[in-house]
Amino acid sequence: MGRRRPLLLLWMVMFLVMSGFGIIIPVLPFLAEEVGATPLELGLLMAVYSLMQLLFSPAWGQLSDRYGRKPILLIGIIGLSLSFFLFSTAETLMTLFAARLLGGALSAAAMPTVMAYAADVTPPDERGKAMGAIGAATGLGFICGPAIGGMFSQTSLHLPFAIAGALSAVTALFVWLVLPESMRPPTAIRPAGRPPFREMKRPLLYLYLLQWTATLALAGLEATFAYFADRRAGLSPVQLGYVFMIMGIASAFVQGALLGRLIKRFGEGRVLQGGLAVSALGFAAILLIQDFWTAALFLSVFGIGNGIIRPCVSSLITKQASGRQGSAAGLLSSFDSLGRIIGPVVGGSLFSYMAELPYLLGIVLCLVGAGLYALFAARHEADRLLP
């Protein structure tokens, strides 16, 4: 089987999974309110999912190195489906928390396994392109999912969760019947080896920290942009939805159509540095928004830059983690989750003090990311030259 068919199947899997996940985004706050959740409890409900991802992603990634990608991916998707069906029957806050905990712990198997699978079936010189395509599928799923969820929530707040559960179940069936295993025996069955967090050694540690800073900046923006745009441009929730949709389309287009060509010509390192620079420019431009169109344009600039970072980092890390792509991808997902846990708290706290601070911090974090890449490149070159 050629490389293109597994990658196309993988693209479809990620699009379906993220569409199912995105369906619940506009509905969950209202369902939580219906069962009596306070704003603090809603915040905890959102955060506990990322906490489970942080804790479980490395272990799932390592298990995929040991037992193969397909069974672990199936566990992740089936777990997501079960959590959605639990949401669809929830009448109490405790049930919502149970569903969120279950979904976070089991679905943590999906993203690192997909990244490891993509690394398995692509040579190093095409790795960045494959990671970009996966990122584009993720972005498009997040665009389509909330629109579907908002539409069906008009009938019932529980219906979008049932649809998401069914969509995830269909995706699991699709993976079971169609997606081939990417690891060949006996490679797929190996001793567990060292703990996943032992992968945090220089120079890779610099890349993990770089991804954390990028996600921290993104999560801070996501938590505050609605308030900022309302103050500066008077944007309504509907207009904000369109702004984020435009950003998602722009980011997905660059990831899916241009990123592979850019990496092939300039390499992951230069493209990554360019993404950090564009992200910083986007943060600075956001401070100047005046209306819907400037908000859409400037947020899209940021989204394009930020969307480039994860595929480049994933490509660089999996190239350095030969035979341990699952562990490496799982650890990267943990750093991603850590940024999503801390980012909203930091961004919200800074915004309450001064509205511009989350975006000024974003510029600083982009500069820190550039410094971390410089440390990675210098250390990697030094290690390469050692006898």
Torsion-angle region of 74 (φ positive above 0: left; ψ -120 to 50: alpha; else: beta): alpha
What pLDDT shows up at residue 274?
96
pLDDT in tens, the chain (387 residues): 455 677 888 888 888 888 877 787 778 878 888 888 887 787 788 788 889 988 999 899 889 888 889 999 999 999 999 999 999 999 999 999 999 999 989 988 988 898 888 888 888 888 888 888 888 888 888 788 877 887 787 788 888 889 989 989 999 998 999 888 887 654 444 544 555 555 556 688 999 999 999 999 998 898 788 888 888 988 876 787 788 888 888 988 898 888 988 998 999 999 999 999 999 999 999 999 999 999 999 999 999 999 899 899 988 988 877 667 788 888 888 898 899 888 888 888 898 889 899 999 999 999 999 999 999 998 876 555 444
- Domain 1-179 belongs to what architecture? Up-down Bundle (1.20)
Task: Write phi, then psi, for 194 (nearest 5 degrees).
Answer: -75, 160
The predicted pLDDT at position 361 comes to 96
HEC sequence for 168-205: HHHHHHHHHHHCCCCCCCCCCCCCCCCCHHHHCCCCHH
User: Hey, what CATH class is 195-387 in?
Assistant: mainly alpha
pLDDT in the model for residue 186: 43
> What one-character-per-residue DSSP string does 198-258 give?
GG--TTHHHHHHHHHHHHHHHHHHHHHHHHHHHHHH---HHHHHHHHHHHHHHHHHIIIII
230/240 Cα distance (integer angstroms):
9
Specify the pLDDT at position 212: 95
Closest CA to 162 of 75, 87, 98: 87
d(CA 331, CA 367): 23
pLDDT for res 135? 84
Residue 234: left if φ>0, alpha if ψ -120 to 50, beta else—which one? left
Give the containing element (helix H, strand E) for 108: none
DSSP 8-state assignment for residue 323: T
Contact 205, 334 (CB under 8 A): no
Question: Chain centroid to CA 226: how far?
Answer: 20
- Contact (CB, 8 A) for 44 and 169: no
**Closest Cα partner for 306 from 357, 246, 358, 250?**
250
Parts of the chain belonging to CATH 1.20.1250.20 = 1-179, 195-387
Residue 187 burial class via C-beta count within 10 angstroms: exposed 0-12, middle 13-18, buried 19 and up = exposed
